[in-house]
Structure 1
């Protein structure tokens, strides 16, 4: 499926507006000139700038269909789309049972197989990516992820 820059620009602008609105309700930090809303507001401003650039460029380029669904005609495309949704749902079920690292590795490996990555490469990249994401979130950002067998072995 191809989206025109006008469509994407308007979606990004809408997302920026929603992010700004959601961030405006976050509390400020007493005694500081910035608070919990600082990063989301800056992100919203960056998104708004990108959306504006996309929208202006599309208007200058002239007419183009907002959405073209040419991918549907490709052999196996509907199966891959359905399998992607099934893998995300499988992650939601598996994460509380197996923990983040195993569930994410299985999900990523499945996604790699859908796009025809070699199995050995897909398994290695999926495992390393899941570990990096887990360590980034748990150690750097202090975001709790579902714990399982592998997480008990990690710091």
Structure 2
């Protein structure tokens, strides 16, 4: 695809086991995460990002659709590979994010999607980011997956 990826879905949950709620737009705070989400204010797990393209690959392995909202990730982008290397940065709308780690698929997926979903999503479950620069993220915002790495700080 020639065009850059866009935010295709935004989901949050107010508490750990509550269902994810779709949003058209969210406020994201630097160093804190998405306002109103269960992980807002945690140390590093501010925003989770997954790719619809990767979910479709998981669905092919799983043999059934994998709905974005049932994976418990905050942002779903239209296509492309979400970076997984710690320290890598991406920009989503106004917001600058930095990779913390790969998001491991949780056991809850077998309950919400069906038996075998957790295994199908292994290595396809998205990435956990910390927020370096806050702002608003809206469905349809463009996503820059290839930002140049940060300049080294002078010693």
Instruction: Please give the range of the TM-score, normalised by the shorter of the 2 chains.
Output: under 0.3
TM-score, structure 1 normalization: 0.21
Q: TM-score, normalised by structure 2?
A: 0.21
Higher relative contact order (CA 8 A, sep 6+): 2
| Structure with the larger strand share | 2
